[in-house]
Structure 1
Amino acid sequence: QDNVIQSKPVMTAYEDGTATLDCTYKATSTQYPNLLWYQQKTNRSPKYMLIRLSGSSSNNEEFKERFNADLNTSSKSVPLTIKDVRVSDSAVYYCALQPTATETHSTIRQ
């Protein structure tokens, strides 16, 4: 069964530092999965951040500068890195796998 795992459900980050949120996946239905990250702030709907495909990537304009994720098909991981962390980055971050849309989350607090 396809799934994603975020092994650290809660993490602390420091302003102006770097935060890395892990996400590993299992994709039995396809050799070339699509991995996405979403950000959800309190009382808001989840917001699409970025997608990573084998050999391709795209970021929502709002998340182009400080947010990055590298898809590693060998280790089956797509960690999200946030540079120059801001208080406004405090949110729940969801890693999602297409086509099955399996998801999990990590919360980042300052």
Structure 2
Amino acid sequence: SPSALCSTIVSIINKVIQEQGDVIAAEGDTVTLGCRYETTRTGPTLFWYKQEVNGYPQYMLHCLSTSTFKAEEFNVDRFDSKIIETSVPLKIQKLQLSDSAVYYCALQPTVTGNSKTLKTLYKIF
């Protein structure tokens, strides 16, 4: 039937693309972690997570259109992100030792450590 045909053609494309690998930086530095994305959704929401050693991904912030919403722990000027066309870079200023972690960018919210839902990965040393 025509409706069945439409449902097979119309599908959501969701993909985030890693732009660089490990980042090595010194305390006090500024780093920008890149994340490009592809989606057919209008007004997508992009998420950043931080995962410390032996921990679960921790929600940092999410960006929607021109707005950025931060978790309380990351609601400081050191952390900033915004959607710029098809990318959502995460800027971390005045690096501290506690920033050493793996960082993930995702198009979907997640509360698990399932690597299939978290595509972009960075490790700051």
TM over 0.5: yes
Tell me the distance in 1 between the aligned counterparts of 2:119 and 2:70.
18
Q: Which runs of 4+ in 1 moved over 4 A?
A: none
Aligned residue for 1:87? 97
Ranked by relative contact order (alpha carbons within 8 Å, sequence separation 6 or more), the top structure is 1
Alignment: residue pair count: 105
- Structure 1 gaps of 5+ residues are none
Contact 2:18-2:119 at 8 Å conserved across structures: no
Question: Which protein has the bigger strand share?
Answer: 1
The answer to whether 1:107 aligns with 2:123 is yes
| Larger-Rg structure | 2
Higher helix share: 2
Q: Distance in 2 between matches of 1:16 and 1:44?
A: 24
Matching residue within 15, 22, 26 for 2:38? 26
Contact 2:67 2:82 in 1 (8 A): no
TM-score by length of 1: 0.88
Identical pairs, percent: 46
2:59 pairs with one of 35, 38, 48: 48
TM-score under structure 2 length normalisation: 0.78
Cα offsets for 1:54-73 (capped at 9, x unmatched): 1322000111111110111x
Match of 2:19 in 1: 7
What amino acid is aligned across from residue 58 of structure 1 in structure 2? F
Q: Deviation of residue 31 (structure 1)?
A: 1.9
In the TM superposition, what is the alpha-carbon distance from 1:87 to its structure 2 partner? 1.0
